Amino acid sequence: MKNHPNRQPAMTASPTLTWQLKTLLPLGLALSTAAMAADPISKTNDKQLTLPTVKVKAEREKKPNITKGYVAKSNSTAVKTDTALIDLPQSITVITQELIKDQNMQSIADTVRYAPGVGIAQGEGNRDTPIFRGNSSTSDMYVDGIRDDVQYYRDLYNIERVDVLKGPNAMIFGRGGSGGLINRATKQANWSNAREMNVQFGSFDKYRVTGDVNQAINDDLAVRLSGLWENSRSYRDDFDAGRWGVNPTLTWLPSDQTKVTLGYEHYEDRRTADRGISSFNGRPVDTDVSTFFGDPARSPTWATVDSFNAVLDHDFGGGVAVRNSSRYASYDKFYQNIFPGAVNAAGNQVAISAYNNATQRENVFNQTDLTFSLDTGPFKHKFLTGAEFGRQETDNFRNTGYFTDVGANATSVNVSVGNPRYNGPVAFRQSATDANNNGVSHIKAGYVQDQIELSQHWQAIMGLRYDRFEVDFLNNRNGQTITSTDDLLSPRGGLIYKPFENFSLYSNYSIAYVPRAGEQLASLSLTNAALKPEEFRNYEVGAKWDIHPDLSATLALYQLDRLNALATDPNNPAQSFLVDGQRTRGIELGLSGNITDAWKVIGGYAYQNGEITQSISSNALAGATLAQVPEHTFSLWNRYDITQQWGVGLGSVYRSKMFAATDNKVTLPGFLRFDAAVYYKINKNIQLQANVENLFDKDYYASAHSNNNITPGSPIAVNGGITLKF
């Protein structure tokens, strides 16, 4: 049997092996002694003695687990080496597999609920839009450390854990990552031979099935298959959602030092694009939480994703290892919405507008990382050096909706606030400013990082990344071409002081850039193509404390400055210039882990003060508070196992009031919401679970996209499920 990270060495003692050694070895020695006594000549003739055969068995080990309950001890995402979280000078929240199951998490919005300093925006009802320390982003998404930046809703059916990294992370991940990022670590084939199926049903006609089969073929080959099917409705009128996905993976061990991992995913998400309700007199309009503004029947959105991943790991020995990762992904995304605008002064009419947008993108990325250790005098080094190459090609096409009942070129229509549906004709065609373009970007990057053990108590992490980001942009409407090139240097420096093994203090400084090309590579024009990319500077100090081996607490204080924001000249809208646009300061407290074997917790508190430091536009003036950045947030989830069969969960989420947009004209009230769960394990193979969202049926507003696109929170909702292991 081969010795590799996914299996125990052949001579590792198991309970079976221990019993055999204790029983058979004394027996063999007794037999050999008796034989020599019966044949004294053998003592002098040096005859060979054959002892009874002793069989040694070793059990396969499951895939090494870096998490236990709700706590993660180490992370390989933040610095690309497996490093203890207490030794990372950065605020990181890890959403473990056990937490995902206990809370019945299914989306990115679910995972950030217990990540202090991270919120979620509406995303126009068609995409994940986390807000990291005041910065809204739809592209800072990664899967197994590689960019996954198209705007769509991601599912967790094939996810082992979710890493939420706060602060700029460009030294490892390249452009973007301005205020933070989210990395999904997928389930990989290993030798655990586990099979699991989960069936769910719940409020608002929810039906969902997931499956996970993991099988060792032999000592060198393992396969795994994860799958999803869902068809659900919502508390929102005439909303429905359907999604399905399949993700086979394969792990092959051609030698003791080499591992090859392959994976393919096909995923489809189709739903109603729901942009919520409008506002009136500085607050969300007074209407039932189920009321749909616009037309749900003509507001579809869908995304189809096909991706292929290949990873080669080789250990040369002596602390030298190489990893090569490749990812190809094809995305087809479309959304159309007939949605609300402003309410009139009388409060009885609301404007309805419409448009649709199609995006096709192909991503190809390859990363090579070489790690090695080196001692220089009293200092111990763990070096990382690597390169990344990528190509992204994007086609973007947008149409404006025209309301022909009002006029051939009317782009809005008014309907009653009391009945805000619009059922009249809408003609979709391009306006003078709608996009029809093709963008090709090329990425070439190199980076180096040194994790230094300076002494028993002091450590440092230093790194520098260079990115060359090139964009060729074609406007298909007029044949105009634009070429943009950015040379980006992203440094990072962190210092860690550990007065005790279970306690650390740290400081960290990092810079990230967002090139002017934008997330959909559609914002280049002759007026801004030559402008420098936006720059984000992060200063962070903090402390991490492993209260005991399975319970960790964290503290972070930070300042994040956004520079080179694009502003329009108020005296000449055709001209633009760069300003140092915004600053966010905050404090984050986190707690995660297992207080006892029966009691698991995760939670956090965040204080954020985000403001516009220099006027960016007429709707983003100096001194204004950043959009959807509440001053205070708090969350805490508990699971307590009463017996080996029964368990209960209770959680609370608090958010203070916040502004829907940077003009600070509409306020979303603060709220306190409670969630609960009950778990019953019939036996080791069957478990029942019920999750209750918004236990006390609190009225609140969950998120927004603008002053007139506000999503009411769900009323009380119950989701039941059964998990089968076989």
The secondary structure of 656-682 as a DSSP string is --EESSTT---EEPPEEEEEEEEEEEE
Last residue of a domain, one of 61, 96, 112: 61
Last residue of a domain, one of 16, 35, 61: 61
- Whether residues 46 and 193 share a domain: the answer is no
- Whether residues 457 and 320 share a domain: the answer is yes
Decide if 127 is inside a domain.
no
Task: Determine the residue type at 435.
Answer: A
Strand partners, 553: 545, 591
Q: In a 3-state reduction of DSSP, which class is residue 723?
A: strand
Decide if 110 is inside a domain.
no
Asked whether the predicted pLDDT for residue 463 surpasses 80, the reply is: yes
User: Per-residue pLDDT tens for 219-242?
Assistant: 999 999 999 999 999 999 999 999
User: Per-residue pLDDT tens for 237-266?
Assistant: 999 999 999 999 999 999 999 999 999 999
φ, ψ of residue 35 in degrees (nearest 5): -65, -40
CB crowding 315-326: b at 16 or more within 10 Å, else e: beeeeebebebb
User: Per-residue pLDDT tens for 5-22?
Assistant: 444 333 333 333 333 333
Asked whether the predicted pLDDT for residue 605 surpasses 80, the reply is: yes
Averaged pLDDT for residues 477-498? 94
Sequence-separated (6 or more) residues with CB below 8 Å from residue 149? 138, 139, 140, 141, 176, 363, 519
Q: In a 3-state reduction of DSSP, which class is residue 115?
A: coil
Decide if 440 is inside a domain.
yes
Distances from the Cα of 458 to the Cα of 76, 373, 713, angstroms:
21, 17, 47
Task: Determine the residue type at 117.
Answer: G
Asked whether the predicted pLDDT for residue 677 surpasses 70, the reply is: yes
Asked whether the predicted pLDDT for residue 306 surpasses 80, the reply is: yes
Decide if 161 is inside a domain.
no
User: Per-residue pLDDT tens for 94-142?
Assistant: 999 999 999 999 999 999 999 999 999 999 999 999 999 999 889 899 9
Q: Please choose, from the candidates 487, 437, 490, the residue with its C-alpha nearest in 3D space to the C-alpha of residue 463.
A: 490
Structure-token pair, residue 600: 């698991």
Residue 422: domain span: 186-504+511-615+628-725
Q: Mean pLDDT, the chain, as a whole number?
A: 89
Task: Determine the residue type at 715.
Answer: P
Which helix (H) or strand (E) segment holds residue 221: the answer is strand 221-233
φ, ψ of residue 30 in degrees (nearest 5): -65, -45
Distances from the Cα of 249 to the Cα of 193, 578, 591, angstroms:
14, 47, 33
Decide if 382 is inside a domain.
yes
Last residue of a domain, one of 15, 38, 61: 61
Task: Determine the residue type at 699.
Answer: D
At 19 the pLDDT is: 35
User: Per-residue pLDDT tens for 18-43?
Assistant: 333 333 334 333 333 433 344 443 43
At 66 the pLDDT is: 67
Radius of gyration of the chain (CA): 29
46: left (phi over 0), alpha (psi -120 to 50) or beta: left
Decide if 445 is inside a domain.
yes
Provide the number of structural domains found in the chain: 2
The answer to whether the beta carbons of residues 125 and 272 sit under 8 Å apart is yes
Structure-token pair, residue 495: 């210092």
Question: Exposed/middle/buried for 517, CB within 10 Å: 0-12, 13-18, 19+?
Answer: buried
Decide if 160 is inside a domain.
no
- Whether residues 378 and 524 share a domain: the answer is yes
Confidence of residue 619 (pLDDT cuts 50, 70, 90): confident
CATH of the domain at 359: 2.40.170.20
Distances from the Cα of 470 to the Cα of 447, 486, 526, 678, angstroms:
18, 6, 16, 53
- Whether residues 45 and 190 share a domain: the answer is no
Sequence-separated (6 or more) residues with CB below 8 Å from residue 526? 480, 482
Decide if 343 is inside a domain.
yes
